[in-house]
């Protein structure tokens, strides 16, 4: 058992397998998981956990070089786009249409599904390097 960081063994294993530029999707509850892409389902109930909660933990163990989110979310009242920029201030931010986000998800090494109910609340991150 780990003392700190991500204690979910499946997420820890996914992070350990991730190489430079590999992508991981952290999805809301309604995101259509691409066929053939492994999914770790953390959803416990409405908004439990939220995408940003999982992302904050992921940034403790994974260097993030780039991230994508659906540009439909930018006018969101909850400030999700702002939250993403605050959590990953050094990563390149790439907003794109949700339809394109879904296509890009087919190349992800995995999806971490949350209980987040925010429409278009997904984020995809690309691994950087630790050096």
The Cα 51–Cα 122 span in angstroms is 7
Beta-bridge partner residues of 94: 68
98 is catalytic: no
Q: Which one of 9, 17, 20, 103 is the catalytic residue?
A: 20
The Cα 18–Cα 16 span in angstroms is 6
The DSSP-derived string for 58-113 is HHHHS-EEEEEEEGGGTT-TT-HHHHHHHHSTTSEEEEE-HHHHHHHGGG-SEEEE
Residues with a known catalytic role: 20
């Amino acid at each position: 058992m780990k003392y700190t960081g991500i204690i979910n063994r499946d997420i820890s294993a996914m992070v350990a397998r991730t190489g430079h530029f590999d992508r991981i999707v952290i999805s809301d509850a309604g995101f259509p998981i691409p066929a053939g892409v492994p999914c770790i389902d953390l959803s416990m109930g409405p908004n439990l956990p939220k995408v940003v909660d999982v992302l904050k933990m992921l940034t403790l163990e994974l260097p993030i070089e780039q991230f994508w989110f659906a540009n439909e979310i930018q006018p969101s009242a909850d400030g999700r786009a702002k939250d993403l920029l605050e959590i990953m201030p050094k990563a390149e931010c790439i907003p794109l249409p949700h339809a394109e986000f879904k296509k890009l998800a087919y190349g992800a090494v995995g999806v971490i599904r949350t209980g987040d109910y925010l429409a278009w609340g997904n984020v995809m991150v690309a691994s950087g390097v630790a050096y």
